[in-house]
Structure 1
Amino acid sequence: MTNHPYTNADLRATAAEFVATAIREITPSEIADRMDRNYVQSTNPGDGNGRTWAQLLNRGDLDTTEFLAARQQVDDLIRDAADVSEWAIQLGAANLTPHPAMAWQSTSGRYNVAVQVATANDLIPAARDELIAEIRAAVDQVVCRVLHCKPA
């Protein structure tokens, strides 16, 4: 029992609610403003020489049609995003680092299962990589057997 009238679980639930709300309530103009300043991942080699969305799509001809279309697609992705705010808060509280998700899809191309793994920061890279590979192999085997799926 703590000396407070609330628990750590209460704090985490509130933090998760705030994260989810912040994401749901972002406006199209806020998305556009952030895209103006953010690098397009595929153009950014990590040395600061990448191109922002504004540089990539606003080529000086004042035609922002492509930029607005991209912004709308980002907005749609945000609106359709799964709420993983509670999971994110729990990971941070446990000092775990998430790794890229693993996903499996059926022969129809529809995704059926996704798994995300998070590990402690003090794992040596070789142990972390082996652990993730073994988890992928184990889940892959079960998913393929039960759902007759293939890895994505």
Structure 2
Amino acid sequence: MSDRPYTEDDLRTEAARQYAEVLRSPDWLEVQGEMQGTPIPSTTTGQVVRWHELPGDDYHDAVNAVQELLEDAPDLSRWAVDLGACCLTKTTNLAWGHGDNWALAVQIAHRRGVDDELHTALVDAVRAAVRSILTDRGIDNPELPQQQAEEAVS
């Protein structure tokens, strides 16, 4: 028993609450401030363009769109906090659907240093399990093609 008046779970719950609070109600000015000097990712191969350099109302439209995306994002805050607390820092995303319109997503998290062969075997096993379930349920159709797994990232 700890001599502290709180538990590890209390700390994780509070960290998740604070993390979620940021996503639940993003302030337009905060989103704008975060985006302002940041390069637009698709422009980094040529001339770098920063969000605030967009012409006309394009910047404000982009800020509004990002704010909407944040508001619609599912609350995975406790999951994210628990991953960090367990030192699980690498993830691999698997998604089924068309392009950016996913119907199903699975994310695999693991510690740094996991053997590449083990990682590949785990990802392949999850992919095969999901595919098997979809096929068994008659959902093996062109509407749910599996997207390429992303590289493991921290």
Question: What band does the TM-score fall into relative to the shorter chain?
Answer: 0.7 to 0.9
Query: Residue in 1 aligned with 2:150?
Result: none
| Cα drift, residue 53 of structure 1 | 1.5
Q: Distance in 1 between matches of 2:127 and 2:29?
A: 39
Q: Distance in 2 between matches of 1:75 and 1:51?
A: 20
Ranked by relative contact order (alpha carbons within 8 Å, sequence separation 6 or more), the top structure is: 2
Q: Distance in 1 between matches of 2:9 and 2:95?
A: 29
| Cα drift, residue 12 of structure 1 | 0.2
Indicate the structure with greater helix content: 1
Q: Would the aligned equivalents of 2:28 and 2:63 in 1 still touch at CA under 8 Å?
A: yes
Q: Runs of 5+ in structure 1 lacking a partner?
A: none
* TM-score normalised by the chain length of structure 2: 0.78
Count of matched residue positions in the alignment of Structure 1 and Structure 2:
141
- Identical counterparts, % of pairs: 30
* TM-score normalised by the chain length of structure 1: 0.79
Q: Distance in 1 between matches of 2:75 and 2:94?
A: 17
| Cα drift, residue 146 of structure 1 | 2.4
Q: Aligned pair in 2 of structure 1 residues 9, 147: CA closer, same or farther (>3 Å)? A: farther
1:6 match: secondary structure: coil
Instruction: Within 5 Å, give how 1:7-18 maps onto structure 2.
Output: 7-18=7-18
Q: Aligned pair in 2 of structure 1 residues 41, 143: CA closer, same or farther (>3 Å)? A: farther
- The one-letter code of the counterpart of 1:80 is D
Q: Runs of 5+ in structure 2 lacking a partner?
A: 148-154
Q: Would the aligned equivalents of 2:25 and 2:71 in 1 still touch at CA under 8 Å?
A: no
Query: Residue in 2 aligned with 1:87?
Result: 79
Q: Aligned pair in 2 of structure 1 residues 38, 74: CA closer, same or farther (>3 Å)? A: same
Q: Would the aligned equivalents of 1:104 and 1:143 in 2 still touch at CA under 8 Å?
A: no
Tell me how large the CA RMSD over aligned residues is: 2.4
Q: Would the aligned equivalents of 2:94 and 2:106 in 1 still touch at CA under 8 Å?
A: yes
